[in-house]
Amino acid sequence: MNKKKIRDYLIDYLENEEVIKFELAPTDKYSNGLPELWKDIMTSKNPVEETFSKLWLPFIDLLPETIKGLRHKLREIGLLETKEYPFSLIYVYEENGEPVFSRGYPVCSIDRDDAKLLPSDFLKLYKIHNGWTDLNGFMGFLPVEDWFDLNDYYDGEYSDILPGIRLKDFLIICESGSNEYLGFDLSKKPPVGLFCAVGDPVEVVPDVVRALDKWMAIEFDDLS
């Protein structure tokens, strides 16, 4: 793909952020404070392979379908710096000749009380990125600071879309952008995985990580 086209598409899409810099790898043009592992990726002669092997491959037992999709569909890696987010890693794919993106944020400490309740396998994903989604923040695991409950969208303690479960007890860690939510019912000990699609019965999800893996892998189906 044409690198100017990739840059133009990305910048146009991020119209609500103040872009400081975007560079496709390999490059040594980055600001101070970039994580060391990301420096290795950005300066590698084969940044796609470096990203795959260093960030994702150690977690192939947790995300086999997503990692298979990355192996076959990832085309370029870039580093984005904006006023709102100092660093994010941009994954570039191709769909009918046009660039498509996902975005990962630097790993950080998980400083939330509710995180202590969550399964260790789920929290391991945050050793890859502190959130990895499309550019709209959908179809992947949200940054820790962006986990939310349905009281953000609906008033009251309960709602028909989540029968018998308090809205504030449903911690959402992934959303589709089409009123579909994946998360945990924190009222249960240990928390129980739930999938909620507005208008459909709520489904219990025995393994949220596996469900998330399948959900993220769907995004690769239409890519070149």
Rounded Cα distance between 149 and 165, Å, is 11
Burial zone of 107 (CB within 10 Å; 0-12 exposed, 13-18 middle, 19+ buried) = middle
What is the domain count for the chain? 2
66 within domain boundaries: yes
The conformation of residue 108, written as its DSSP 8-state character, comes to -
126 within domain boundaries: no
Same structural domain for residues 152 and 98?
Answer: no
Per the DSSP assignment, residues forming a β-bridge with 19 are 82
191 within domain boundaries: yes
Same structural domain for residues 149 and 101?
Answer: no
Token pair for 137? 């923040």
Per the DSSP assignment, residues forming a β-bridge with 174 are 182
**Do 133 and 103 contact (CB within 8 A), yes or no?**
yes
129 within domain boundaries: no
Question: What pLDDT tens digit does each residue of the chain (224 aa) get?
Answer: 899 999 999 999 999 999 999 999 999 999 999 999 999 999 999 999 999 999 999 999 999 999 999 999 999 999 999 999 999 999 999 999 999 999 999 999 999 999 999 999 999 999 999 999 999 999 999 999 999 998 887 888 888 778 888 899 999 999 999 889 999 999 999 999 999 988 788 999 999 999 999 999 999 987 87
224 within domain boundaries: no
Name the residue range of residue 27's domain. 3-106
Residue with tokens 């086999």: 64
Tell me how crowded residue 170 is: count the other CB atoms within 10 A of its CB: 24
Same structural domain for residues 13 and 101?
Answer: yes
Burial zone of 155 (CB within 10 Å; 0-12 exposed, 13-18 middle, 19+ buried) = exposed
124 within domain boundaries: no
172 within domain boundaries: yes
Same structural domain for residues 10 and 89?
Answer: yes
Query: Which residue, 79, 106, 133, sits at the end of a domain?
Result: 106
- Cα 127 to the center of its chain, rounded Å: 12
pTM as predicted: 0.95
